[in-house]
Structure formats: C-alpha cells, structure tokens
Chain A
Amino acid sequence: LAKTTQPISMDSYEGQEVNITCSHNNIATNDYITWYQQFPSQGPRFIIQGYKTKVTNEVASLFIPADRKSSTLSLPRVSLSDTAVYYCLVGDMHNAGNMLTFGGGTRLMVKP
C-alpha cells in the first residue's frame, strides 16, 4: 500500500486558491490518486481522482507530475464552506480487493 504524506493543517482566506500537496513516493503502476473531503460529523465525500497529468471537474483540479510521486489538489476561490479535512488516497482503483487506507488528512481552515 502506497503511504501518503500531507500537511496536517492549512489556513486560507475566502476567495484565494488553495493547493494541498500529497507525497506518495511508493506509488505503484496501477495506483490512482483520489481525494476526499470530510466535514465534521459526516462521512468523507469523493472530490476528484486522477492517474497522471491534470484532471479538472466542477469543484477542483488535480495536478500529477510525470513521476507521480506527488499530487496537488487545487481548490479555486475557496469559501468558508470549504473548511474541512481533505484526504489523499493512493491505490489500485480498479481492484476492489485492494485495501485503501486513509492517512491523517489536511485540515483546511478558510477565514473570512
């Protein structure tokens, strides 16, 4: 299982772009990178997933360099409601028997 390392916490202000980087030096060829968001007292929610280069959806972008040893979740123009914990997961997404582990996540605090 690829181990991930994320910053424990980050602060930002409303309207700013936030970039959260995840290190995964031991990523395997079949591994994908997935990011989840978790609000207090709720289960995690899928944000975005990618394998290489750049992926963008309606809420975020995911940047993955060529060596895939890290990835960066980019949240454009954050608001107070983006205050949450963000988790980076690495694993073989097409193999349901493959366990996926959550690290400690990054606690993002957005200030007015």
Chain B
Amino acid sequence: NAGVTQTPKFQVLKTGQSMTLQCAQDMNHEYMSWYRQDPGMGLRLIHYSVGAGITDQGEVPNGYNVSRSTTEDFPLRLLSAAPSQTSVYFCASSSLDRGRRGYTFGSGTRLTVV
C-alpha cells in the first residue's frame, strides 16, 4: 500500500539549475496536485491535474511546469531554480469524488536552492 510516493526526499540545487520532482500514486486517483509549504506556513497550491493530459495552474505556478502523461505520475519541473523556491513540496492525490476520503499526501521533498 504505497499510496503517494515522492522522490527525492531531499535536494540541494544551485541557482539557475533545473530539476524534476517525481510523484507517483498507485490508487488510480484521477486528481493530483502539487503544493509548496514554506517554514511555519500553510500549503499553497502550485499546479493540479484532473486526469491524464489535463493540467491547470494553482495559486503560485510561476517558475514551475507540470505534465500528466499517465494517471499514476505527475512530475513537477523547476525550470531555473531560485532561492525563493526553497521549500518543502508535497504531492497529493484523490479520487474525483473527494467526498470520500479527501486528499492523500506524499511525505514531501525538501528542496534548498543556494
């Protein structure tokens, strides 16, 4: 029962580098999303997807790209890392009927940009 798996757990990037944060779920959930959480703050929605081939922007999409080629995977790409993107990133998934059990979250990726 893997649920939502995020890799890597930790990452240090230099300013200007690019990287992809991976997210995979094995619950056949249609909905997937990415949040960032800054120290002492709540979660802010970056991008979300309601199914393969469909993505949309959240509250703070600038500097990030996503794609959804399969139901299982929803990678988040940082195009040119900036210190302001230092944060903990959480991936979440749910069935389209979120009235059942809400979101299932991954354990997070802690990213530091120096």
Q: Which residues from chain A sit less than 8 Å from chain B, CB to CB?
A: 32, 34, 36, 41-46, 49, 87, 93-94, 96-97, 99-105
Contact = CB atoms under 8 A, between A and B. Distances in A.
Interface stretch (B11-19, B63-71, B73-81, B105-113): B105-113
B103 A44 contact: yes
Contact of B56 (A45, A97, A104): A97
Given A87-B42, A102-B35, A105-B42, A96 B102 contact: no
Contact of B107 (A42, A87, A99): A42
A32 B105 contact: no
Interface residues of B, number: 29
- A87, A93, A100, most chain B CB atoms within 10 A: A100
A102 B43 contact: yes
A104 B43 CA distance: 8
A94 B30 CA distance: 12
A32 B103 CA distance: 13
B99 A43 contact: no
B59 A43 contact: no
Contacts of B30: 96
B99 A94 contact: yes
B59 A101 contact: yes
Contacts of A32: 99
